[in-house]
Each structure stands twice: as structure tokens, then as C-alpha cells.
Structure 1
Amino acid sequence: MSGTTNPFLHLVEALDPKDPQQRFFNLSKLGDPRYERLPFSVRVLLESAVRNCDGFLVKKEDVESILNWKQTQAQTVEVPFRPSRVILQDFTGVPAVVDFAAMRDAVTQLGGDPEKINPVCPADLVIDHSIQVDFNRKTDSLQKNQDLEFDRNKERFQFLKWGSKAFRNMRIIPPGSGIVHQVNLEYLARVVFNQDGLYYPDSLVGTDSHTTMIDGLGVLGWGVGGIEAEAVMLGQPISMVLPQVVGYKLYGTPNKFITSTDIVLTVTKHLRQVGVVGKFVEFFGPGVSQLSIADRATIANMCPEYGATAAFFPVDDVSVNYLEQTGRDAEKLAYITKYLKAVAMFRDYNDVSQDPDFTQVVEMDLSAVVPCCSGPKRPQDRIAVSDMKSDFDSCLAAKQGFKGFAVAPESHHASEPFQFNGADYSLSHGSVVIAAITSCTNTSNPSVMLGAGLLAKKAVEAGLSVKPYIKTSLSPGSGVVTYYLKESGVMDYLFKLGFEVVGYGCMTCIGNSGPLPEPVVEAITKGDLVAAGILSGNRNFEGRVHPNTRANYLASPPLVIAYAIAGTVRIDFDTEPIAVNAQGKEVFLRDIWPTREEIQAVEREFVIPSMFKEVYEKIEKVNERWNALSAPSDKLYPWDPKSTYIKSPPFFTGLTMALEPPRSITDAYVLLNLGDSVTTDHISPAGNIARSSSAARYLTDKGLSPRDFNSYGSRRGNDAVMARGTFANIRLFNKFLNKQAPRTLHLPSGETMDVFDAAERYQQAGSHLVILAGKEYGSGSSRDWAAKGPFLLGIKAVLAESYERIHRSNLVGMGVIPLEYLPGVTAETLGLTGRERYSVVVPELLEPRMLVDVKLDTGKSFQVRMRFDTDVELTYFLNGGILNYMIRKMSGK
């Protein structure tokens, strides 16, 4: 509670009259009929505003704006939101802790108290992105991968352990525990907080775009950039435009062969078509009550793939049953239900009188869903399994693009022979070389994991196998998955097909797929083949899964196994056998596919509360190597100048308390001329560091051999590596070069060079730089280095047709100006080539979303919108970024 200044203290009452110390803000006592018409997700925003109303960071008029949502949602009204907690994973968590450490140094230099730089809001960091599939198909693969993870990342882990000691209110879940979003769902989620006797809804922001998974449990949460999360950790509210809320009505019953993955891929494509970027989606209707929490979480997890901010399933009886199933305390369950019913946040999906007002309502009949995959390059490009073969063939022929590989017709049936372990094989277009049951999206869902296990059992019993050169892997999101797969007896069958546990973490989906066998790589390269990866993940952007798999498909875990057995995506499962066994019998997929009823029976018997309790009671202490790890105990971090993982960043060099007026952009060169859907993977890749890259040359100069390079994701604590890795994705398509390459044209000299080298030459000459882009710039993961990297390259502004929400916020947080073409205007309509010089006058008196002039050295000029959407964002920009603002605030006397 914010003390006596809160004008809503009269709403506080006891949750139980017998225990007056247990209190809550009873929003029903507002006596306002608008409250019970609000979407349930907006009620969470309202409660936070009421509880935190202090007349300064949160004002009474903010509460009125939220309460009046039906009108204000169409008016671009800015409101503050204070989440209950923050969640981080290690790829994004390391740079956040690095920034905190550097901020402590900066505050000290400005004469302030460094210990003011400390999380105010509870923060949980789960180390889950560091493990790679270096070993597979062996009984000791898990141990070997975990040992290698520790050896590679010891410096990072020591640094994080220092952070867990140096900063109050920060809990770290050690490596080997699981995937952040699954651990959040099964263990960290409170649903309702009880803080010093005050009850309020659990809510969060996280430094990973798939934070939205928790919305499936009725906890409002979404991904933000690491920069924005740091401000929340320091007690700042998020400044957000009050969202429109699309009501998504589910009805009907899915057929017995449908998985939750099929449902989510169908929803993803539908919502992409509807257009929900920047909006909340809230699910309702009788179909929701048929979905398990794991099913709902799968749909919510894919929220970034359809572009919404959040995908919310309000709490109902199914939610409470899930909390009980996952071993939550009975006393907590009682007050969760009591509190949510008292504030009208408990849902009965079959009661239409509870249906709130929505901005727009769209519907889906679950009975119309068919088995499907998505790909070959984007998660929203859904394909019915029955159409996979024909769709892949059409992609081969189509011109280079999201659905095209531009393979010459005479090469469509090319094949390349190779030897593996003394046997002869051949690869062709569409051959599966990676098959991974991976990712938070599906490994949290017992129905699809047990479905995969039952399919494996039937496949082995039918005499089927997976070719030995295919890189198969199983990376569960928590130890509970391994527990129920073993107890139900299906783990042995998964192992026989090559799907043994290789690690607990975010692996293939993030690009930690590890190396392919050298003969396979040689065959792909020699034949210029479009090889395929099939994974139960949420991301399949070009260059992400593996450099040698040009086609990557998202699929349910059972389908991952099916395509692995088939060995190709060019198969029609309806008419062609999945394989022929040793007895010469044709086996069809329908012969071995388990029904929903079979799966549910096994789930009821083997997914039980005691498993969750046993796994999570020891989660923070189970990793012996983590327990034995020593770390510094200083309040200020003792930076090691020799470290290639952890380096003090240059963001605050020369920072003073005084603000400088904003500077205009003058005669800027275009560093890169980009098209649509440039992802944060294109801007700041997380995967392997190519041996020919600028980052590789830097690490080689530091005495490292290529086997010690590790990944870009693991080196996010070192700005020198990350700046050199900016725009280093091999699939980056730069219009200057008219091909895919991590290179650009240095315009003054006409030379083609690595992007970092060109930027460095421009900076040495004192030239300003901008980037031209198309639609959905910065889509994909909420990656703060996709904003920090361009800042370090000297990028002053990005000019795009539209932005992904989190990335635009991150650019603002780093002081890079997001400029947006006016509706109907593009680089093409203006005739821009990117070879012009660009000047933008930035006025001293700035307003949100104001129009400014862009002037070219050709004499042409046009107007663009400056995408600072709120007054708070303008304040951050005028301070040179959000972290500079926080340092000045914390250093003030």
C-alpha cells in the first residue's frame, strides 16, 4: 500500500472478518457499474492502479481512465502499470545484472549511494538458455551437455551468483532446472499475492517474449525488453497505452486426433489475419472450459507469434485444479479463490452473463481444427499436415521469400549420397536432419508429451526407427516431465527412437541445436539442399534453428517423432506409409497415432501432485556444481579486464547530472536498407558465432579458439562481442547487396564489408547513421541487445513502416529514435534507394507521436511520425535512455 496519500484506502477491507489483518482493496466497493463490464485483464490493470495510487507515479485520473476503458481504449490514453514481479532468463538476465552492476558504478561516480541500485520489485532469474545439444543419442548425453554448459559458462554463472548475493529481492534458479516459462507456470506463479497481509493479483513482466505463457493460468504478464524490466525492478511503473482487448470466443469440441499444438497454430494464423498487434486478447466461451491449463498456456505462449501484447485466460475452477495438481499449498488455494471471487476476477466460462465488453469479438470452432504444422520460415504460416508435401514442393519453386526457396525446377528431386557410421544414405530437398521435442510451448503440456511417448511406443512395437544421422533430442521444460514419462513407461520407447533427455532448458528453439554430423553438413552444402528441421517450438525464423536447415517447421511433439521416422517433410501421411518395417509391412501414421482419450487416461494416472512437490522442493539446491561455485562478495562488481563474457558496458561513460538538449540528425548515411519482418534474430542473433565474423576476429585476438567461442546469446554480458554481432545473421537480406549476408555497402567508398566494420568506419568519420526498414521491424524475441547493439554502432534512428511493440520500446530505452512512415507511405512510394543522406530536425519541445520532417540531400523531403508514444518515453529519450534517467534519479540528493 502507498500510505495515507492513497485516495482509495476506503476500499480496503478484511478478506475474512475473523482475521482483520488479512486485507484487500475491494474494487466492487467502487460502486461503479463500469467495473463489471471491463475485460478481466483490464480489471488487473485497474487493481494495480488503485492499490498503488500515490498522486505522483499513479494518479487518480489514471484510475478513472482505466475504469472508463470502453471509451478510452480508442483514444491512445497512457496509463501506468506496476507489475507484482519480474521474471528473467539468463540470456537476458546477464545483461540486466551487468547493467545493474554498471549503474552502481555510475551512481558511485556521481556521489550517490550504490546500494540504491537494487530490485524493489521481486525478481526471479531462471538459468535456462545456456545449454546446447552437443551430445545426443547416448545414455550420458544429459550429463555431458550439462558439464559442457558449466565449463563454457562458468564466468557467467559466477557473475550471476554474485548478483544473487549483492542484490536484495533477487532469486536465481540454477541451471539444469528447466525452462523459465514452465518453471514459472509450475512453481513460481502465485496467482494471488499475499504481501504482509495484503492480497492482490499476481502479475509480471519478463525479459523474454514468451512470458505471456503465464496468462494461460490467469496471471497477467507479457514480455518487455531487458531495459524496461530493469526500470520495473527499480520501482518504476510501466507506462503503457491502454490496450484494446479482442475477445476470442472458443466453442465446439476438438476431434480425438487433435493436439493443443494444432489448436495454437490455427489460432496463431487466425489472429495474425485479424490483426492484434499491440492489443490484449482475452479468451472466453464454453470451449475454454474444455482446455486444460497446459493447453491454455500453449496458446498464451504463442502470443508474440500472433503479435498481441497478452493472451489472457481468467482464472476458473480448472486453474485452481491445476494449482492443486502441481502441488500448491491448500491454504493458498483457499484464499486465491476467495480473493478472486470477492473482486469479480473469477470466471465461469459457461456463464454468458459474465462475458465482459470487448473491443472486438472473433470466434473459433474447435471442431474445425485439423492437424497442422507451421513454416518453413515463420510461425504464423500454418499448413495442414495433409498439405505439407504439396506446400513444400511449391515453396521449393517459389521465389526467395517467407514461402520460397527459388530452387531451379530441374533440381527439385536432386539427392546427395553420403556415408554415416559406415552405412550409405542420401539426402534430398525436405530431408529431416533435426527433430527436436523442445521449447516452453509444448514441453509444459503433459497431453502432447505423453502423446509423443505413446506414439513412440506404438512405433517401436510396429518395428519402426529413426535414421541414425538425424539429430534427435528431447529437452523437457522441467524435471516433472521426465518423471511422468518414466513413470508411465514411455521413456524407454522415446529413447529407442533417439529422443532421450539431452538437457533441461531452452535448446533447439533458441538456436542451441549444436553441431550436425559433418557428413550431413557436407551433403547439404554439396547438393545445395533445402534440409528441414522439425521442432515442437515457437520460433522458426531463418538462421535461428541451425544454419544448415533452411526449412524449419513447428509441430506437436508427436508430429516431430512422425516426421523423424519418415525422414522427410515431403510425405502425405494420408496416402503414404510413414515407413516400411523390417518385415516389409507398410505402417501408416494413423496406425500408431494415439487418441485424446488414450492420452488423457495416462495423464490422469501418472501426472500427480507429489511429482511436482518432489521436483520443486529441491530445485534451488539440486545442482551440485552451482552450489560449489564461488563468487565475489563485494557490493560493487570487481570487473575482470581479461574476461570475454562479462565486461563493464560503455553506456554511462561521461554521464553527468545535467541534461543536454536533444540533437538533430544531420546528413546521416543509411547503414542497412532492409525489408519487412526483420526480426530481433536478424538484428542480434543468439546462435553460433561464425568463424568469419567480426565477433570471431575479436575473440581470436583475445586468444580463444573457435571451439570456445560459444554463442552470441551466452556472451550478452560483453558489449564488444555484441556490438560486433549486431546484424551478423547470415540470413539478413540487405537491399544494398540484393542477397542474404551479414554485410553491407560502405557508401562513401563503395566497399562491401561486415556491418560492424562499416559502422566503425562511419563513426570514425563522425557520420550519423540510420536504418531503413519495412513492416514489423524488430518482430520476434524481446531482445534488448537488438537495441543496444545498434546504439553502439552509432545508429541515431530507424525509419520503418511499423514496429514490433517490445522492440520499439527498447529503441526508446536506448535513446534511438523510432521513426514511422505515415499511412500509405513506404520507401518504395517515396522512391528511396538508401543511398541518400538523411537529416531530421529534432525539436527541443517534443510531444508524443509528433510529426517531423525528413530532408534528403537530393532536395526531397517528407514527414514521418516520431514514435515516442508517451510523455514518459519522451523523458527517457531526453535523458539519453531509461537507464541514464534511473541513474540520475538514484544519484539525486
Structure 2
Amino acid sequence: LGYAFEYLIETLNDSSRKKFFNVPRLGGTKYDVLPYSIRVLLEAAVRNCDGFLMKEQDVMNILDWKTKQRNVEVPFFPARVLLQDFTGIPALVDFAAMREAVKTLGGDPKKVHPARPTDLTVDHSLQIDFSKCAIQNAPNPGGGELQKAGKLSPLKAQPKKVPCRGQTACRGSCDSGEPGRSSGKFSSQIENTPILCPFHLQPVPEPETVLKNQEVEFGRNRERLQFFKWSSRVFKNVAVIPPGTGMAHQVNLEYLSRVVFEEKDLLFPDSVVGTDSHITMVNGLGILGWGVGGIETEAVMLGLPVSLTLPEVVGCELTGSSNPFVTSIDVVLGITKHLRQVGVAGKFVEFFGSGVSQLSIVDRTTIANMCPEYGATLSFFPVDNVTLEHLEHTGFDKAKLELMETYLKAVKLFRNDQKNSGEPEYSQVIQISLNSIVPSVSGPKRPQDRVAVADMKRDFQACLNEKAGFLATTFVGFKGFQIAAEKQNDTVCIHYEGSEYRLCHGSVVIAAVISCTNNCNPSVMLTAGLLAKKAVDAGLRVNPYIRTSLSPGSGMVTHYLSSSGVLPYLSKLGFEIVGYGCSTCVGNTAPLSEAVLNAIKQGDLVTCGVLSGNRHFEGRLCDCVRANYLASPPLVVAYAIAGTVNIDFQTEPLGTDTTGRNIYLRDVWPSREEVHQMEEERVILPMFKTLKEKIEMGNKRWNSLEAPDSVLFPWDLKSTYIRCPSFFDKLTKEPVAIQPIENAHALLYLGDCVTTDHISPAGSIARSSSAAKYLTHRGLTPREFNSYGARRGNDAVMTRGTFANIKLFNKFIGKPAPKTVHFPSGQTLDVFEAAELYQKEGVPLIILAGKKYGSGNSRDWAAKGPYLLGVKAVLAESYEKIHKDHLIGIGIAPLQFLPGENADSLGLSGRETFSLTFPEELSPGVTLNIKVS
């Protein structure tokens, strides 16, 4: 490490005698004006400078950031890697396939290991099979026998207390028996899963839902889980966090984050990259991290750096403090809108100013988690006193905290509010006053379309009137639904559970408190819980046809909602815990009732979904729910009670109490003082500590899961989940020359804003899709299909799922559909079938596209899938950087039209043939000539 800069190694001036690179000595005043995030890059460069992968010139370029930003590319060695199961399984499957390839080429497969610490959390496989409405007819996608489930009532009575088992954290009596004496066992407990109170081991209300969903999760994903367990056994540096524990970013924040790394008595800043754009959450804790592509992640796991253009750093000065009715999500959306207007795409954002100290760590991590939505690479909050206080409250050892503070101050990575001559200088400085931020929601189609709650009714009515526009994916406007004026007041009567209700435009049919963005924030979740309590006490309720759910980011959320006494009130309003993991957020929502679906279709209604997530697209929650809004958890509860988004909370009541008195939102909204008092009392050290212990212990199902421990993975030829991919079949010791593309056809002709979700969907597998046909041929029923995300370890399914999104708009077809036209035959086929036919004919393929091709979540199969379809190049106006890197990594040429040109301006119909030859020495930005005929 740091061969060229060994002279900078010093011993920390404290009792620990730990070593560190004193990087400030290298740059003097140059170092003092560097942004904190760039200082982290510089330290990693100095520490890893070996003259080969990291050269001295790279170090000097980072030190000279002020003049070199945007102009040079530098390597970065992150300290660790974070994977989640959807994107992690293809990486580990590739590692298993690498072992096969190494053996085939005469090498030792035992040498194939990740070189960097790699953590994988199983959090994306959860689907909501069971809820209070669905559990009567419980599906069993995993096969085998399941216990018959009874009907879950909207609100169960408080469960019986279970005798305390001697928990040292227990602070009171547990009904009968003395602390430490057990007089019985809780028979339905899944051992060590975070659904019990850590002090009294009381089951939370509605545990059946959690248990049933976890049971199906293990049954449905057994093959994948066995593969993960094999990986954790045979690969060094791989640790797997089992299902039912929590979301990747939440576990990363609460458990995996170190802030300061220690390796062989050497201290250095924690940093992380991973396969999800929302890994940026940890930047709120002062840990540099961002999402990269799956292929780049595998390179980092093998000890290679990620490469990035030395970024611009936008300094965001926060001033003032927010008003009592503003939640963290309001702050997030306010900052999101401001930063989008400024334009921070591809840049680092670093926060400073007096307002930063007004934000708790959960507020900061919420803001940092949303940075992909305003286009920044990351949003960094340097470590300060607030950070240390948070770490102390969550159980960090005091000696470690003192060591952390001493080290960070020694290398000038510790922020304070006192201005001095060594203040960082930024590429650009913007100011945001927290006082100016008002409560808001985001939608109805895009997360960047923010609407003040006070303007919600007027805005929704405008959306009904607004004419439809044109996008690449479908014929819709950015906000408009083009409903005729005479149809805007239409209502449809439905009968549900013995009562009559009326649906209209704006009716809420899905309400989900979901996603790590909000569930990690105690104040926001407690606000929702207190609002629910006050609403129930006032006699308000949620209409039963609304599909409601509560999916906590981790067991800690369940603990404090339960111990604070608000969970039963959320449950009574229908917000029951359905499991721990990504469900509604990634499209795994429970289906709407037939009565609601029929009413929507009958009246052509613009119904709404309201969720506390961080991203939405039209049709992602449900194909027939056309308007979807992001909102804070308390507003999700409020809109669910109101039953419509077409409401002015200032002048219209949520409902009436038992005496007929109008109840307004202001009557049930808890004060900031109430929330803070409850947060202080309930979100305390034992909860964090207990959760960490549970993660380390695993759970009964995971611990009893059998898995092989062989050097090579024993591939099951009958498996529909795990297959040895074909990427390495033609691997040679020497790379082959790049081949020209001759007489290629366009497989698809796409427009703007084609996301990775359009290219490689993560949701359910449609029964009519090519992937469904493959699985049916293998003997599976539709109940056993699972989702594309769960089958990313099977290249046959993923190739067939490429471009299978029902919202994909292909200009060859003229409407949203996962189909294309084969040339020259003119047949309309599924995209996979057309590609298969082209491959039989020996015809290479390209894709024509517009602006922002590959935007959205990082998804390596959005490059791998087209590659296996035979796509050799994509010709687009612009690309999302991560996806472009994926295309390069897999061997698809990302070609870009010259400025001001596109397929339309050049008169291309897409029916032509395309030929091009690559120069022997490829370089970024080289101009190529494409022959079209």
C-alpha cells in the first residue's frame, strides 16, 4: 500500500498507536481548500498508489482538483462492496462461473475470491402474498404444503405477553414471573427475527402476515438462498445478511458502516460502492459511497478500482431550520427540486452551513438517499459532532468513537461550523433556506414533479384536464391524463365486504408506507403512528378496499412503533406489517380486488397510489393505477383516511367523529414536540444493539438451510433459478480483436427516457411473455414464476425478459408492448423471438434510441440481456453513465449521435441496415462513420 507515499505514514498521537497516512502534509494549503469528499478520494489514492493501477500522477491530479475537475479520469479504490440479492446474485454467479473457466483453462479455481470485503443483503425477494385481505386464499408459489391460514382481522387485540427470558435490557415486569425466569415458550416464533419486542419478547400485532410472507419467501427462493449460503462458505470476504433482517441500505447504515476502517493497525476512511443507486444513503453518515454497475462491482470485488472523471463538487449551503409541519421527505423533495433546477447531474454535492447542524443523521441519510433523483453522483455530509452523537446513541464503543474523532481531525475530515481560512472551495455554491420548504408530495408520474400539499387539489384537477404528450415509453404527458370535462366528475359504485362505496377520479386505491428512504427515519414514522392514533381516537378509518401495507426498513422500526404504542392504531387503519424488504417499491404489491379493478376499467378512472418510497413510474405499482404520488408516511396515512388526493386539507375535513363533528388534518397532526419526546424515549441504544445481535445470530430458517461447500458450485441442470452463464464459454488467455459490424438490423427503435426497467424489468413475469413460456416448458405453473429480479441467476430467463416491459414503446409497433417487427419479413414478434430469428439468420443487431438511454436503477442485465440477444451496438442521443459503462463492459458499443442530430433528423426509419468498422485503437469520443442502406 502507498509505495510512493510511505513517508506520509505516521502514528496517531494517542494511546492506540494506530498508523495512518497524514495526507494533509502532501498538499498544505492545496489540501485545506479541497472539499471533504475529494479529500477522501485523495486519501484512497495515496494509500493505494502502487505505480500501476494507481499512479503518482493520479494522486497529483486529485490534489490539483481545482484545475483538473471534469478534465481527467482517476481510479478509486473503495474500502468495501455492498450487494443486494437482485443484483448480487448475477455477480456471485459470475464468480462461480469464473471458477469453472479458470479450471477449464488449467488454473486453480480455489484462487478465485473477492479481494474486497463484500456484504450481500437478501432484501429484494420479499413479495406481499399475505395481507389482511389476501391471507384467506394463501398462494404457495414455493410448492409443498403450507399450513391453512385463518382470516386476519383488520385489528387484532393486543397479544398475550410472553414471560421474559432474562433479557438484561428488560426494564419492567412481564405480566407473570420474575425477570430471568421463563415459564413458557412462544410456539410460532421464528427465532431471532426482528418481530418481537427486545425487552419483553412480546409479538407485535399481526405477526401472522410477517411469518407467512417470510415462509413463502424461503420456499420460493430456496435455490437462490442455498447458492448465497454456498458463496458465503467458499468465497473469502463474502458475508450474507439473511432475509427478514431489513433493507440493504438500512442494514448498511445501522450495522455494516464503520466510518473509519481499520486494517492491520492502519486507519483510513470507510467508503463503499454497490449495485444499487440508493447506496448513497451512507453519505449522510460521512461515508463516501455510490452505486456502480454490476460489472464494475465485480471488478472492485477482484481488487480493481472504479474509474471516474474527477467530479465537480457543488457546495450546498443550508441555512435556517424547517417549520414544525415539514418532515424529512419534505426537506428531501425541496432540496431535490432546487438541485434539479440548478443542474447537478454527474456531480458530487457536499452540504455545509449552519443548517446542517439542524439536521439529524436520519434526516441527512434521507437526503443523501434521494440524490439519484436529482441526478447527483452522491450527496456528502462530512462527519461532525452530530454524527458522533448518533453513533454513540446507536451503541458504538466509546473508545472507538474517541479513536475515530482523533483520526478524522488529524486528517482534516471532521466538519465544524466555525469558519476559518481553510474552508473548502467548491465548483459552485448554492444556498437553500430550510425555512422556505413547505409540505409536499411528488407525482403523479415522475418523482421530480413536486406539488405543495396546499396546491394538491388544484394540481390534480389540472392533471385531469392537461392534454397527453409524447414520451418514448407511452402516449402520456408528463402530468396530464386528458380526461374530458364532462367525465371528470364520474363515479362508479362498488360493493365491498358488505358495504357500498363510490370510486371517482383521484380515489386512493393503494397506500403503502414502504422503503428505506422513510422507514429509517424515526421522527417521520412516529409522526405517522401518532397521526394514526389521533385519527382512530377521533373515530376516523380507512376504506377497506384500499390496499394498505407497512413494510419497515428493519426490525428496529417495528420495535419502536410497537414499544411506543402506535402500531395497533396503524394496524386498525389497515397499515399492517407485511414483511421486511422491498415489496411495493419494486412492483411486488398485492393485487387490487376485482371490484376495484372492474370499477376502474368501467369508469376509465384515474385512481391513485400513495407511497412513502423514493421512486415511481407510471404503472409500476399496478397497471391500472395511473396516478402515483410519493409522500411522507404521515401524509400516506392522511390520504388513505381521506380516500382521495382530490382534497384541500386546509378547508376540507378528513371525515367526521362519532358526533358528526368535522375532523381536519390539523386536528390529528402531532406536534414536533410530541414526536421528538417519543423519539427520545423509544429510539434508544438497546434497540440498535438488539438488532445488531439479531443480524449476527441469523434466524432459524437461514441457520438450518443446507448448502454445499464444494470448490465448484454443483450446477443443477433442472434448476430454473441458477444456471452457469455462457459469458465465459469462449474465454481465451488472449483477447480477440474487435470485429466490424456488417449489415446489422435495428431490433428496436426507441425514443427518450428508456430506463433500465424498460430494458430489463424487475417485477412479475407476465404469463404471455417469452420467459413465461420457457418456465412453463420447464414444468412451472404461473404461481411459481416468481419475479425477474429473483431469477437474475438464470441467463435463459433474463435474456427472454429483456425488453419485456409492458410499458416499452417501440416505434416499429406504435404502442406500448414488448414486441418488435422482424425485417425484412415484417412479422410482429416478441422481442426475444425476433432476436432469436435474427441470430438463426446470422444478422447482427443494433438499437436506435433517443436521449437518456439506460436511465434509472443500475442494472447489469440491461446490458447483459441485449448482449445475449445479439445486440452489437446502441445508437442513441445520450446515455446514463452507469448504463453506458455496463454496455462497454459487456462488449456493446455505446454510439452517440453527433450534437444536434438524431434518428429523426437524419431521416432514419429503422428499417435500414447498418455497417461500421472500429479503429484498431479505440478512444472515448472518436468519430465513426456508419454506412446505412
| TM-score normalised by length of structure 1 | 0.93
Mapped partners of 2:616, 2:811: distance in 1:
23
By how many angstroms is 1:529 displaced?
2.5
Which shows bigger deviation, 652-661 or 833-842?
Answer: 833-842
Mapped partners of 1:465, 1:810: distance in 2:
48
- Please list the CA deviations of residues 211-259 of structure 1 after superposition, one character each: whole Å capped at 9, or x if unmatched: 0000010000000111111110110111111111111111121111001
By how many angstroms is 1:837 displaced?
2.1
- Please list the CA deviations of residues 683-731 of structure 1 after superposition, one character each: whole Å capped at 9, or x if unmatched: 1111111111111111111111111111111111111111111111111
CA contact (8 A) 1:694 1:725 kept: yes
Partner of 2:865: 789
Which shows bigger deviation, 555-564 or 842-851?
Answer: 842-851
Residue type at the aligned position of 2:692: Y
Determine whether 1:87 maps to 2:82.
yes
Q: State how 1:394-473 maps to structure 2 within 5 Å.
A: 394-397=462-465, 398-399=467-468, 400-473=476-549
Mapped partners of 2:254, 2:667: distance in 1:
34
SS at match of 1:563: helix
CA contact (8 A) 2:70 2:309 kept: no
Q: State how 1:122-133 maps to structure 2 within 5 Å.
A: 122-133=117-128
Partner of 1:69: 65
Question: Which stretches of structure 1, 4 residues or more, deviate above 4 A after TM superposition?
Answer: none
By how many angstroms is 1:808 displaced?
1.3
By how many angstroms is 1:154 displaced?
0.8
Partner of 2:19: 23
Mapped partners of 1:725, 1:620: distance in 2:
36
Partner of 2:6: 9
CA contact (8 A) 1:347 1:354 kept: no
SS at match of 1:652: coil
CA contact (8 A) 2:547 2:590 kept: no
Pick closer, same or farther for the CA change 1:585–1:831 going to 2, 3 Å: farther
Mapped partners of 1:586, 1:426: distance in 2:
20
Q: State how 1:223-302 maps to structure 2 within 5 Å.
A: 223-302=291-370
Determine whether 1:718 maps to 2:718.
no
By how many angstroms is 1:582 displaced?
4.2
Partner of 1:770: 846
SS at match of 1:373: strand
Partner of 1:886: none
Partner of 2:579: 503
By how many angstroms is 1:19 displaced?
4.5
SS at match of 1:838: strand
Partner of 2:105: 110
SS at match of 2:12: strand
CA contact (8 A) 1:218 1:315 kept: yes
Which of 593, 598, 605 matches 2:681? 605
Residue type at the aligned position of 2:45: A
Which shows bigger deviation, 844-853 or 88-97?
Answer: 844-853
Residue type at the aligned position of 2:215: D
By how many angstroms is 1:784 displaced?
1.0
By how many angstroms is 1:323 displaced?
0.8
Partner of 2:219: 151
By how many angstroms is 1:18 displaced?
4.5
Which of 46, 52, 74 matches 2:48? 52
Which shows bigger deviation, 568-577 or 81-90?
Answer: 568-577
CA contact (8 A) 1:348 1:354 kept: no
Mapped partners of 1:68, 1:280: distance in 2:
17
Partner of 1:390: 458
Mapped partners of 2:254, 2:417: distance in 1:
23
Mapped partners of 1:388, 1:854: distance in 2:
50
Residue type at the aligned position of 2:898: L
Mapped partners of 2:322, 2:265: distance in 1:
43
Residue type at the aligned position of 1:302: M
- Please list the CA deviations of residues 528-573 of structure 1 after superposition, one character each: whole Å capped at 9, or x if unmatched: 3322111111110123222232221111000110111111111121
SS at match of 1:829: coil
CA contact (8 A) 1:544 1:681 kept: no
Partner of 1:484: 560
Residue type at the aligned position of 1:67: L
Q: CA RMSD in A?
A: 1.5
Mapped partners of 2:662, 2:710: distance in 1:
66
Q: State how 1:325-336 maps to structure 2 within 5 Å.
A: 325-336=393-404
Mapped partners of 2:650, 2:421: distance in 1:
44
Which of 797, 801, 808 matches 2:884? 808
SS at match of 2:223: helix
Mapped partners of 1:215, 1:470: distance in 2:
36
Mapped partners of 1:444, 1:721: distance in 2:
34
Partner of 1:871: none
Pick closer, same or farther for the CA change 1:853–1:339 going to 2, 3 Å: same
Residue type at the aligned position of 1:285: G
- Please list the CA deviations of residues 589-615 of structure 1 after superposition, one character each: whole Å capped at 9, or x if unmatched: 111112322211211121111110011
CA contact (8 A) 2:29 2:422 kept: no
Residue type at the aligned position of 1:308: A
Partner of 1:43: 39
* Structure 2: segments with no counterpart, 5+ residues: 133-151, 153-205, 469-475
Which of 852, 855, 860 matches 2:928? 852
CA contact (8 A) 1:284 1:355 kept: no
By how many angstroms is 1:150 displaced?
1.0
Mapped partners of 2:212, 2:640: distance in 1:
24
- Please list the CA deviations of residues 395-446 of structure 1 after superposition, one character each: whole Å capped at 9, or x if unmatched: 2332013222333443323333322222222322222111111111111011
Q: State how 1:334-349 maps to structure 2 within 5 Å.
A: 334-349=402-417
CA contact (8 A) 1:15 1:24 kept: yes
Which of 687, 691, 697 matches 1:615? 691
- Please list the CA deviations of residues 622-649 of structure 1 after superposition, one character each: whole Å capped at 9, or x if unmatched: 4211111000111100100111111111
Mapped partners of 1:27, 1:451: distance in 2:
44
CA contact (8 A) 1:285 1:350 kept: no
SS at match of 1:584: coil
| TM-score normalised by length of structure 2 | 0.90
Partner of 2:130: 135
- Please list the CA deviations of residues 709-764 of structure 1 after superposition, one character each: whole Å capped at 9, or x if unmatched: 11111111111111111111111122222221122222322222211112111222
By how many angstroms is 1:280 displaced?
0.8
SS at match of 2:695: coil
CA contact (8 A) 2:362 2:521 kept: yes
- Please list the CA deviations of residues 802-851 of structure 1 after superposition, one character each: whole Å capped at 9, or x if unmatched: 21121111111111111122332233332333222222221111112222
By how many angstroms is 1:34 displaced?
0.7
CA contact (8 A) 1:289 1:350 kept: no
Partner of 2:199: none
Determine whether 1:837 maps to 2:913.
yes
By how many angstroms is 1:350 displaced?
4.8
Mapped partners of 2:443, 2:813: distance in 1:
26
Partner of 2:902: 826
Q: State how 1:124-203 maps to structure 2 within 5 Å.
A: 124-137=119-132, 138=152, 139=206, 140-203=208-271
Determine whether 1:666 maps to 2:720.
no
User: What is the number of equivalent residue pairs in this alignment?
Assistant: 852
Residue type at the aligned position of 1:30: L
CA contact (8 A) 2:739 2:918 kept: yes
SS at match of 1:650: coil
CA contact (8 A) 1:84 1:121 kept: yes
Q: State how 1:363-382 maps to structure 2 within 5 Å.
A: 363-382=431-450
Q: State how 1:504-523 maps to structure 2 within 5 Å.
A: 504-523=580-599
Q: State how 1:628-647 maps to structure 2 within 5 Å.
A: 628-647=704-723
CA contact (8 A) 2:849 2:874 kept: yes
CA contact (8 A) 1:811 1:817 kept: yes
